[in-house]
Structure formats: C-alpha cells, structure tokens
Amino acid sequence: MFTSINVILVLTLLSVLLSLGSSRMMALVKIMALQGAMVSFTGLLLEPHGSSGNIGLFFFQVMLLVKGALIPGLLYLAVTKVAIKREVEPIIGYHASLLTGLGLILLSVYITGRLRLTLPGDYALLLITAITTLGGGLFLMMSRTKAITQVIGYLMLENGIYLVGAALTKKTHNLYLVEFGILLDLLVGVMIMGIILHNINRTFDDVDTAYLEQLKD
C-alpha cells in the first residue's frame, strides 16, 4: 500500500530524473524547490507521531522555509541576474543523462540489497531514493558546464546525504540538528556563488566554467 512517505519518495525520484533531463535554468530552480520541500517532509513523516513535539515541527518548518523557498529564491535571483535561460552544450546529452538517472535507480536498488541492512519497507525505499539523489547530484555537477547548474547539482548532493542519514538512523531529531549546520554552510555558499557568478558573467559575458581555462597569470 502506498503511504504518504512513499509518495514523497517517488516525487523525489522524479525530481532527480527531471533535473537530469531539463536544460532550462528556471525549470531546474523550480525542481530543486520541489525536491527541497519533499526532503523536508521526509524527516517529519518518518518521525513517530508525537515523539518530537513542537521542537520537531519547528525544525521541519525552518527546513521547509530554507530548502523550499530561501535557497531556490537565491538561485532564482542568480539566474535572473546573469540572464542565462538554458544549458546549451552539456558535457553529456540530456537523453543520455536520463538513461543514467534510470541506471542510478537500478544501481541504488542493487546497493541497498547488497548492504543487507534490516530496514522496514519505507526505510528501504528511502535508502534507494537517497543513493539515487546523491548520485544524481554528483552526475549533474560533472556533466554540466554552467556554474549555476553545478551549484544545483551540489544542492541535490546535499539532499541525498541528508536522506542517507535519515535512512540509517532513527534519531530524526538529532538529524535535524546536523542538517541545520549543513544548511547554514549552504546558504553562505549560495550567496557567495551569486557574487562569483556576477563577476564571471561581467568578465566573460557567460557563466560557462569552461571559460575559466582562459585565465592566466
């Protein structure tokens, strides 16, 4: 039977595939906002009812605000600032990227089975989703040339790391505390990224990281 957590995890998997197959920057930002919201809901739904009380609900609300609104909002401003609409020349094409995403799901199922962990059904699917999200973020960072897309891949990688932690620990309350520390680093990183992108765009009239090879002493 499909539970709420299953729906959330399936939507997260779909967000990974959509991000690998999308060339439009604004679409990627919206996908990351959706994924951030889904990841935030995951911790809340895995927490036994009433076990975390108001503190757990507060952590969830802050995570949802940061992952689902604040970070995507900063990405939106960065995309608007540099006026980049799409990734034109990815290192790996979009059809191949989609096939890679499907391969990552199969690989995640295999890895989860080989780990031989005693996990309830929901947690097994969570680990599969976590490994897929982690691998999808890493792949996005390596297969795209635009700096913004690479930052989005990094954010997806962080979502995967959080989901791995959620799958392997029942201390969801403590996991929120760790996630807060990571989120602070991410916020600073995204803000710095906006400044760097502005400078790259002003210097090279583009934010393709391949142009950085032209830098010389």
Confidence at residue 33, expressed as pLDDT on a 0 to 100 scale: 92
pLDDT at 182 over 70: no
Q: pTM score > 0.75 for this model?
A: yes
Residues paired with 86 in a beta bridge:
24
Calculate ∠ Cα 202-81-188, nearest 5°.
95
Q: What is the mean pLDDT of the chain?
A: 78
By the 10 Å C-beta count (0-12 exposed, 13-18 middle, 19+ buried), 163 is classed as buried
Confidence at residue 43, expressed as pLDDT on a 0 to 100 scale: 74
Task: In whole angstroms, give the CA distance from residue 174 to residue 215.
Answer: 44
Q: Summarize pLDDT for 125-146 with one digit per residue, the tens.
A: 888 999 999 999 999 989 888 8
Confidence at residue 199, expressed as pLDDT on a 0 to 100 scale: 58
Domain that holds residue 118: 4-214
pLDDT at 216 over 80: no
The token duo for 137 is 């973020």
Mean pLDDT across 182-186: 63
Do 136 and 19 contact (CB within 8 A), yes or no? yes
Calculate ∠ Cα 163-169-174, nearest 5°.
90
Instruction: Give phi and psi for 146, each to the nearest 5.
Output: -70, 135
pLDDT at 160 over 80: yes
pLDDT at 211 over 60: no
Residue 112 identity: T
Residue 87 vs residue 122, higher pLDDT: 87
By the 10 Å C-beta count (0-12 exposed, 13-18 middle, 19+ buried), 152 is classed as buried
By the 10 Å C-beta count (0-12 exposed, 13-18 middle, 19+ buried), 95 is classed as exposed
| 210: Cα separation from own chain's centroid | 23
Q: How many domains does the chain fold into?
A: 1
